[in-house]
Structure 1
């Protein structure tokens, strides 16, 4: 059995690994000329943790993880407001979860699967045809690949989805926020090792995160409206130019960063994830958004479950895809609903909402409440 996988991000690499373990031949197609690195920090757990364990990559993911010793919430000029201890953060995540950069998940998957699959960088999908026995994929390098399955793991703006399922606007739900993320060249002296600093004000959130090995991730996230027009990095500088502390340094680094992830935050609400021998995986299928904080876990867990379904059904690919979606869709839709529900507290638009959303965090930073919270999560495992 053979699969063509479009997209060499977390979902695509995880699918290549799991299908290879199931005895499939795989071809990975990636439009970028080389592997991307960095990305924002995520909490990895749930079905992703279980899937990574079954696929044998959990130890390597844990090795690349980082621990936040303190999360400090600051005022717009940098004055300290309150902080959460590393012990409280760890207890709240639970035993089967950890913090890691998206790029480090990709790196771990890539190093594991690179010798067991073929990867074509700088290549895109241009056409798809299928019949009862195979799917035929035309690529930008002029080749036509024939396979038993085509997996569209090419992200939020999936070309596979556009070709087979229809244009993006049919499925895109705009969450009216934008995000810019990049890696600083070095950790600022004002940011202690292993700590995170965050500022929220006026519908904007800024965070700078020490993620280990002296690396530092920078995060800008802010509310938008349709009148703002086409997004640009100039917009980011204009929106954050009144903030102090590390924000000016982070804005300066934005201009010289090797790679910046900058996009509107959107969900993909796709009524069906497969058509014949074509299936969508990861953000191309569901994109729960960073509001829900579960995208990387769903991508790895979804790939693992897809491989298991294909193993159970042998050559009956459509039956495997139907079973897989029926099993996974409730989890993805639950996380999408969570993302829509909490987006209002992500970057509070006024001081009152900011205080209300941060009140539980303030309370959990107070000694007696902190110990109660830690104890609660420890008891729940």
Structure 2
């Protein structure tokens, strides 16, 4: 039986464990965190990501977590409505073969599907990696050593596997901060089910109210020194950047102050690599190609990448290095397209001026026209 060690128990790692486990591999997932995470922001699975979920047998389970379509209201700084974006706009962009859900629900679905097929070792890190033509040797922090035919680094944008095996020069830091705050309660100033979005020069604040345990907020802003912002922590940094806003934002910031550990708070980075594998070691998901939240396809690419990796390994049998090169050749064009889309999308989430905000509002108004809505559908697939 072939053996694989997978570093990271997020979407990419669990999807890889599920796919390889179904193909007859013995897999071990190593996760630094002491337990599975359960929070997160909204993600969309469509295109190759939805196709992969279908092949992995996940669509029925994912459908139970689908938040569905909802209206978004663009608001002014004080929370007053400026423009209503009907749910038909999202429907046109996503299409029929799509599901929208919270990242934590996607991870929970993957965990439920994979945990009987793999061994997951929480609170464990990799201390050393060694490989030759016959296999990979992975030394772990608990003192054990794993012998494997394949090592998959799916440990995120700050991947230690990438640094150890490929060097430290592949993460491109961008001048933005992003924060996502899960909310256990509905937000009073945001009607249910709907979202409000404020877009101003250099920043965006969105609050989604879908009811108890199904609400969240998303923040992003441009800054000159992301590292200094991260040192301040989410309460101080997000409070300073968005404390002047009205509507549902004050409620979100109050909730954040009560439980800052539940928030996702990080600088925005892309990972640009000339090659995703070396020998029997391969990177997958954000560890290999982080497209950023601005692209909106990170989860879908992780699922598609895991599924296509399994297919390539099946095609090539015992020739793991050739399978990895074949897999990358098939997936890289889509990743490159999504990374370019994300760089363009930064102007949407953090417009450089009020004029750009006005242009964005104008574009959104235009999308309410049926003909332009059809163009949007083709452009976002």
Alignment TM-score, normalising by the size of structure 2:
0.94
Total equivalences in the alignment: 375
Q: Within the alignment, does 1:284 sit opposite 2:287 as a pair?
A: yes
Residues 68 and 196 of structure 1 are in contact (CA less than 8 Å); yes or no, is this contact kept in structure 2? Answer: no
The residue matched to 1:354 in structure 2 has which SS? helix
Cα offsets for 1:62-93 (capped at 9, x unmatched):
22111232011000000000111112321221
The residue matched to 1:221 in structure 2 has which SS? strand
Residues 71 and 85 of structure 1 are in contact (CA less than 8 Å); yes or no, is this contact kept in structure 2? Answer: yes
TM-superposed CA distance for 1:200, in Å, is 1.3
Q: Within the alignment, does 1:195 sit opposite 2:198 as a pair?
A: no
Cα offsets for 1:209-237 (capped at 9, x unmatched):
13465521111111011387252221211
TM-superposed CA distance for 1:48, in Å, is 0.8
What corresponds to 2:106 in structure 1? 105
Of the structure 1 ranges 111-120 and 185-194, higher mean CA displacement relative to structure 2 is found in 185-194
TM-superposed CA distance for 1:5, in Å, is 0.3
The residue matched to 1:264 in structure 2 has which SS? strand
Residue segments in structure 2 that go unaligned for 5+ positions in a row: none
Q: 1:274 aligns with which of 264, 272, 277?
A: 277
Please identify runs of 4+ aligned residues in structure 1 that moved more than 3 A: 211-214, 371-381
Cα offsets for 1:26-56 (capped at 9, x unmatched):
0011111111112111221111111111111
What corresponds to 2:320 in structure 1? 317
What corresponds to 1:55 in structure 2? 56
Matched residues in 2 for 1:187 and 1:37: separation?
18
The residue matched to 2:191 in structure 1 has which SS? coil
What corresponds to 1:89 in structure 2? 90
Alignment of 1:1-381 (within 5 A): 1-167=2-168, 170-211=169-210, 214-226=213-225, 229-231=228-230, 232-233=233-234, 234-257=236-259, 258-365=261-368, 369=369, 371-374=370-373
Calculate the aligned-residue CA RMSD, in Å: 1.8
TM-superposed CA distance for 1:100, in Å, is 1.4
The residue matched to 2:290 in structure 1 has which SS? coil
Residue segments in structure 1 that go unaligned for 5+ positions in a row: none
The residue matched to 1:229 in structure 2 has which SS? helix
Alignment TM-score, normalising by the size of structure 1:
0.94
